[in-house]
Amino acid sequence: MTTTTTGTALDPSDLINFDALLSSEELALRQQVRQFVAENIKPNIATWYEKAVFPLEIVPEMAKLGLLGMHLEGYGCAGRSAVEYGLAGAELEAGDSGLRTFVSVQGSLAMSAIYKHGSEEQKQQWLPQMAAGEAIGCFGLTEPTAGSDPSSMTTFARRDGQDWVLNGTKRWIGLANVAKVAVIWAQTDEGIRGFVVPTDTPGYSATPIEPKLSMRASIQCEIELSDVRLPADAVLPHVTGLKGPFSCLNEARYGIIWGSMGAARDAFEDALAYSQTRMQFDKPLAGYQMTQQKLVDMALEINKGFLLALHIGRMKDAGTLDLHQISVGKLNNCREAIEICREARTILGGNGITMDYSPLRHANNLESVRTYEGTDEVHTLILGNKLTGVPAFR
């Protein structure tokens, strides 16, 4: 079973005294979220995952911790730094990717879209209640045939007098059936625009995608938009084109850099603890050279992954981050986290396929994390373009 560590002792995987790089405020925030996860998520996650339930009842508790839109300023948001947001994301994903994904969809996608591109009226209407957990938001960009290439979306918003009328389909949209507000991106005669859509608007419907082998303690939906009529002021006024949704996706991608390493660390801790107590041939698994090599290799990648996340977070806070650097973190840390979780499962043997241990659950979840907010292939091409100066997307 997963072990719990204190805020002052080094994590079992920490070979470099990573905590020495963090401020007392950052350590305190991390410990607060870690305690929340230990008390509220880890005791329940096996049941939630097995029953494919997203625990709506913990949303208000997350809001009390300031986790919803925590990197935004004002409107009831916590105004935390990028590094603090990342540390919180790592702790949440050590619990489960589905819970960290909720915080990302709410804060980095839906709230960020309104915060970055919305009118003051839209911000005042939605952000305070979203920060308080009184309203859940979703972010409708991906479509059944438009994933990695959102420019090919077919959802269309046409003007009808002073109103807008939306028609189309969105797919793999987190929390869409429990959301109170949806940010929907659509083609228009003037380019791609974002719309703030109350989900009780006639013509909006969301259906959960089931069954799933990954992200089971989360909700993903298909949204149908059938003659959804909106007033003129429903449009996000301050952005046109894909730079709107991409600015939000980059916020979510940044969170994944940290979150994926949180899942990897938790899987490692399960494997380490198991190896120290599981006896084979009259000694613990931890006493075998092959086991130690696995543990060392996993710990090294976790250390490197967190160093990369911290470096990117410090640059983000300083305003010096280049967008391709987010791709470096997302591509590397997701790829390594999946391998760590799979390797951790091998140490657990047959017991590793049960819900008593976290590695295989994390590995399954990370298949989704690896795919959303840009696949490995998309981030590889972003970095390939950076290295060569030659775009290879088409």
The angle, 0 to 180 degrees and rounded to 10, between the axes of the packed helices 289-318 and 323-348 is: 160
Q: E strand or H helix at 196, and its extent? A: strand 193-198
Contact 74, 136 (CB under 8 A): no
Active-site annotation holds for 26: no
Question: Strand 181-186 vs strand 137-140: parallel, antiparallel, or unpaired?
Answer: parallel
Question: Strand 163-174 vs strand 181-186: parallel, antiparallel, or unpaired?
Answer: unpaired
DSSP assignment, residue 42? T
- Of 143, 251, 269, 373, the catalytic one is 373
Length of the chain: 394
Question: Strand 156-160 vs strand 163-174: parallel, antiparallel, or unpaired?
Answer: antiparallel
DSSP string, 105-119: IIIIIIIHHHHHHS-
Q: Of 70, 88, 106, 67, which is closest to residue 22 (Cα–Cα)?
A: 88
268 vs 116: CA distance, rounded Å = 37
Which are the catalytic amino acids? Answer: 373
